[in-house]
């Protein structure tokens, strides 16, 4: 056996840590209990970018060591900070779950929800003879349908898994990868006869990709999922816009769009004041009317939302010109 080969004990620990980290199953590894579940962490929605023990010293996971941690891995951990040591008899658990916004993308609210949020996990160690010990460092969780994070990490398997998760949510099917190979091509495609055309085509490409795993089919599957999501996103925006008054606020929104065209970064309050001055209306009522054209930026300031502005611009252009003021 070469020095770079894993022993059976190392393989067993690796699998157990993966199951505890990714699936939240309670496991015992050499006397250390891992219970990585929390009421505020839905395991069907969120998963860690890295399992515990993967890539020691990574900023994406806590700085924690175990009795089996090698000297080389200890050095990697210490390159960031002194690791917190878990010992036989300890219980490793989730101390807290915090929600935070991911960096905004060019798609804004049209982007997938799992590209808009993440979770930061803090771990604790419960030791029988002491109080709870907080583990140094953060553990970063992303949505199971987050495609961009594995793309940035050049994790092809993670990209595939996220796209499959999206397809399952679109179709209401579960455990697709476990089931697709059980069907003939005809039987598989028959499951999607009532779905949108994009989903039918994506299903067909997925069957091809899972049957022989050709890269071209897998790439086509990802592209078609994107098209289907784009359609769903436009439908959500249209539904949201339909809840707003259809005509009574048109002059205010039309005037606001003119101001936004001239000042794309104008804040909601300033825009409402200028619209109110032009129309001789109350700034407060105008602010309520045009608020749908705005959304919070990364600093929490209400500024024009390009998607909503274009949506209402199109709607206003298609309506009769005799709208009530």
Sorted by where each begins, the domain ranges of the chain are 8-143, 156-242, 250-318
What does the pLDDT read at residue 30?
93
For residue 227 the two structure tokens come to: 């098209």
Question: Among 1, 13, 104, 91, which Cα is nearest to 52's?
Answer: 13
For residue 251 the two structure tokens come to: 């002059």
What does the pLDDT read at residue 59?
86
Q: What is the pTM of this model?
A: 0.62
Q: How far apart are the first and last CA of the chain?
A: 83
Place of tokens 């439908």: 235
Q: Give the relative orientation of helices 197-212 and 215-242 as an angle to the nearest 10 degrees.
A: 150
Do strands 64-65 and 46-48 pair parallel, antiparallel, or not at all (unpaired)?
Answer: unpaired
Other Cβ atoms less than 10 A from the Cβ of 204: the count is 18
3-state secondary structure the chain: CCCCCCCHHHHHHHHHHHHHHHHCCCEEECCEEEECCECCECCCCEEECCCCCCCCCCCCCCCEECCCCCHHHHHHHHCCCCCEECCCCCEEEEEEEEEEECCCCCCHHHCCHHHCEEEEEEEEEECCCCCCEECCCCEEEEECCCCHHHHHCCCHHHHHHHHHHHHHHHHCCCCHHHHHCCCCHHHHHHCCCCCCHHHHHHHHHHHHHHHHCCHHHHHHHHHHHHHHHHHHHHHHHHHHHHCCCCCCCHHHHHHHHHHHHHCCCCCHHHHHHHHHHHHCCCHHHHHHHHHHHEEECCCCCEEECHHHHHHHHHHHHHCCCCCCC
Other Cβ atoms less than 10 A from the Cβ of 139: the count is 23
Other Cβ atoms less than 10 A from the Cβ of 243: the count is 8
What does the pLDDT read at residue 274?
94
Q: What is the pLDDT of residues 162-209, one digit of tens each?
A: 888 888 888 888 777 767 777 888 888 888 888 888 888 888 888 887
Question: Among 55, 24, 25, which Cα is nearest to 41's?
Answer: 24
For residue 209 the two structure tokens come to: 């990709």
For residue 204, give every residue at least 6 positions away whose Cβ sits within 8 Å of its Cβ, in sequence order, or none: 185, 189
What does the pLDDT read at residue 324?
41
What does the pLDDT read at residue 283?
86
- Taking 70 as the pLDDT cut, the residues of the chain under it are 1-4, 103-111, 178, 211-220, 223-224, 227, 229-248, 318-325
Q: What is the pLDDT of residues 87-108, one digit of tens each?
A: 999 999 999 999 887 766 655 5
| Torsion angle (degrees, nearest 10) of CA 107, 111, 115, 118 | 100
CATH topology of domain 250-318: Arc Repressor Mutant, subunit A (1.10.10)
CA Rg value for the chain: 26
């Amino acid at each position: 056996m070469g020095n770079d080969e894993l022993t059976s004990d190392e393989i067993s620990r690796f699998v157990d840590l993966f199951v505890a980290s990714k699936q939240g199953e309670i496991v015992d590894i050499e006397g250390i209990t891992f219970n990585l579940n929390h009421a505020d962490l839905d395991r069907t929605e969120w998963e860690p970018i890295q399992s515990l023990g993967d890539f020691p010293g990574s900023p994406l996971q806590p700085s924690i060591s175990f009795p089996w941690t090698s000297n080389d891995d200890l050095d990697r951990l210490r390159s960031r900070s002194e690791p917190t040591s878990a010992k036989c008899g300890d219980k490793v658990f989730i101390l807290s779950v915090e929600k935070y916004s991911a960096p905004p993308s060019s798609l804004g609210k049209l982007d997938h929800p799992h590209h808009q949020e993440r979770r930061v996990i803090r771990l604790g160690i419960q030791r029988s003879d002491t109080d709870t010990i907080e583990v140094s460092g953060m553990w970063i969780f992303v949505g199971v349908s987050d495609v961009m994070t594995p793309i940035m990490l050049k994790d092809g398997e993670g990209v595939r898994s996220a796209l499959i998760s999206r397809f399952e949510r679109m179709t209401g099917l579960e455990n697709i990868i476990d089931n697709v190979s059980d069907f003939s091509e005809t039987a598989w495609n028959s499951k999607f006869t009532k779905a949108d055309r994009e989903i039918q085509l994506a299903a067909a490409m997925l069957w091809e990709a899972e049957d022989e795993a050709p890269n071209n089919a897998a790439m086509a599957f990802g592209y078609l999922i994107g098209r289907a999501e784009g359609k769903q996103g436009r439908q959500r925006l249209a539904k949201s816009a339909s809840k707003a008054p259809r005509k009574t606020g048109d002059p205010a929104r039309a005037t606001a769009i003119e101001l936004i065209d001239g000042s794309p970064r104008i804040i909601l309050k300033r825009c409402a004041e200028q619209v109110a001055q032009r129309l001789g209306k109350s700034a407060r009522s105008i602010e309520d009317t045009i608020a749908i054209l705005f959304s919070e930026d990364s600093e929490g300031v209400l500024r024009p939302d390009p998607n909503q502005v274009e949506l209402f611009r199109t709607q206003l252009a298609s309506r009769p010109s005799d709208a009530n003021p």
